[in-house]
């Protein structure tokens, strides 16, 4: 897209320069004043067209550079956001793993407490019956 437009502008500018040289050559070899004036008018028109093309080319370059700067800034911003989000995912995974380990530890501790309570109850029963 943009490369074609820039290339198109360059081709038009080159065509304008070639046409200007041809017209200048013809101007030198024509003797009629009317023809010279007509050719001079064409040369002036070609020069105006060339200046317009040069301005268009310059403006297009400036606009393109502005777009590129904005796109680079957007890429950098999105890269930072992506990095932050990856870190958040890693933190969440670590927290989830930690919670899972904590849950397993809590369940194990609860089973051990229940076993201790059963043993304490059995000891009390045996002690009350005088079996100890």
Render 13-34 in DSSP notation, one character per residue: HHHHHHHHHHHHHHHHH---HH
Average pLDDT value over all residues in the chain: 83
Residue 11: predicted pLDDT? 76
Nearest to 39 by CA among 14, 53, 19: 19
Total number of residues shown for the chain: 132
> What is the domain range of residue 103?
2-129
> What distance lies between CA 14 and its chain's CA centroid?
35
Residue 72: predicted pLDDT? 97
For the entire predicted model, the pTM comes to: 0.48
The residue ranking higher by pLDDT, 53 or 112, is 112
pLDDT digits (tens, 9 = 90+) for 79-130: 999 999 999 999 888 878 777 788 888 889 999 999 999 999 999 988 888 7
On whether the CB atoms of residues 46 and 16 are closer than 8 A, the answer is yes
Structural domain total, the chain: 1
């Amino acid at each position: 897209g943009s490369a074609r437009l820039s290339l198109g502008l360059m081709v038009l500018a080159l065509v304008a320069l070639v046409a200007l040289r041809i017209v200048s050559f013809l101007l030198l070899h024509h003797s009629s004043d009317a023809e010279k004036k007509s050719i001079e008018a064409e040369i002036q028109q070609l020069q105006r067209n060339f200046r317009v093309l040069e301005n268009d080319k310059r403006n297009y370059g400036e606009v393109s550079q502005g777009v590129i700067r904005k796109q680079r800034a957007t890429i950098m911003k999105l890269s930072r956001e992506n990095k932050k989000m990856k870190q958040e995912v890693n933190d969440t995974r670590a927290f989830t793993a930690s919670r899972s380990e904590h849950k397993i530890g809590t369940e194990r501790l609860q089973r051990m407490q229940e076993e201790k309570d059963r043993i304490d109850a059995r000891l009390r029963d045996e002690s009350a019956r005088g079996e100890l």
